[in-house]
Amino acid sequence: MLEVSELLKKVRRIEIVANRAVNEFFAGQYKSVFRGRGMEFNEVREYQPGDDVRSIDWNVTARAGKPFIKRFVEERELTIIFLIDVSGSGIFGMHRSKIDAAIEVAATLMFSAIKNNDKVGLITFADRVIDYHRPRKGKANVLQLIRELLLIEPLATQTDLRQALDYVNRVQKRRAVIFLLSDFLVSGIVGNFQDELTSEMSQLNKVDAELSSGIRNGTRSRILGGSGSGIGSSRDLLDSFFNLQYSTSSRSAKSRSPQEKAISISSRKHDLVAMRLFDQREKEFPNVGLITIEDAETGELVEVDAANSTIRTLLAKQQKIGEDQIIETLKRCRVDQMSIETNQDYLTDLLRFFRRRKKF
């Protein structure tokens, strides 16, 4: 738990950085990218030559004895809700953790929102909804939300996007902009792709022997997948390491998981923006010899011989296929998406995202 003085310093630092980003980089970008719910009535005035006759208010015209038209203005006020994944995988990161990156990105967008006089709310979740802060206006509200985020300790549980999205759909009846910040390492989004890897790797010489010497279960004395001799198949070993990271379900590749259905429903009801957090070390396994990896969400241990080039190749391919499946799932659900790398400047990514959205 952070001390009060340390917490206030962190809040102040994030406020300064976020405000500077908003003033220097995002002036006008936010307002032009996110639109209001539509047009609202403003006033009635007397008809003037050149006005659209379709705007004539016939009731007022009949009472006044001369033509009047209705005038409308865009309803600019938005409701912004941040849906932030605080499961155990958020603690990972070489230079800064994924949860720290999520807080900084969210803070920047929150300060952009209050400059536009929008309401800002927050939902944190893991395997369930953890906390809900109703959307409100003002700087005091944003500072309170940042304080709440800084006090969060990621939970050693898995991620259930469906519950979080179902919850936001229940509590937020009117259309809102939903920023979903997560690493999306979720069962039902990243599917079963071990067959693809096994088929590709089976062409390598002695792949089973290399795999058997390369990955061991930290809670068992024998190599995973082994029976009598202790030598397992490449499929068994891939299943083991795959399950450690993604807790995959056995669904068919053609069927839609409850997680994907929830994303699709939410994207139709709201303006859903997916922000995928990742660390470069998740893509590139270092050559550091024999290491033990612990799943932050399940506590499972797996021993990996990272000096084995075949193992590193397999893991890199697994990560790439998983990343592609996340991207394709979000595309199928017609969700705007962007990736945020923990050790990179997120401002550049946000600007690129804003400019891309502005074109549509």
Is the entire prediction scored with pTM above 0.85? no
Kindly give the pairing relationship between strand 301-305 and strand 215-217: antiparallel
In which band, very low, low, confident or very high, does the pLDDT at 344 lie, cut at 50, 70 and 90? confident
Is residue 317 within 8 Å of 198, Cβ to Cβ? no
Rounded to 5 degrees, φ, ψ at 25 are: -115, -35
Gap between the Cα atoms of 90 and 187, Å rounded: 16
Tokens 């990271």 belong to: 245
Nearest Cα neighbor of 167 from 121, 232, 226 is 121
The third-level CATH classification (topology) of the domain covering 4-15+77-189+254-283+319-358 is: Rossmann fold (3.40.50)
In which band, very low, low, confident or very high, does the pLDDT at 331 lie, cut at 50, 70 and 90? very high
Is residue 14 within 8 Å of 101, Cβ to Cβ? no
Question: Percentage of the chain with pLDDT > 70?
Answer: 70
Task: Domain ranges for the chain, please list them.
Answer: 4-15+77-189+254-283+319-358, 41-74
**Across-strand partners of 120?**
80, 136
> What type of residue sits at position 78?
L
Gap between the Cα atoms of 175 and 56, Å rounded: 29
The answer, yes or no, to whether residue 185 has pLDDT greater than 90, is: no
**Across-strand partners of 73?**
40
**Residue with more model confidence, 297 or 71:** 71
From residue 13, how far is each of 17, 19, 138, 147 by CA, in Å?
Answer: 6, 10, 19, 12
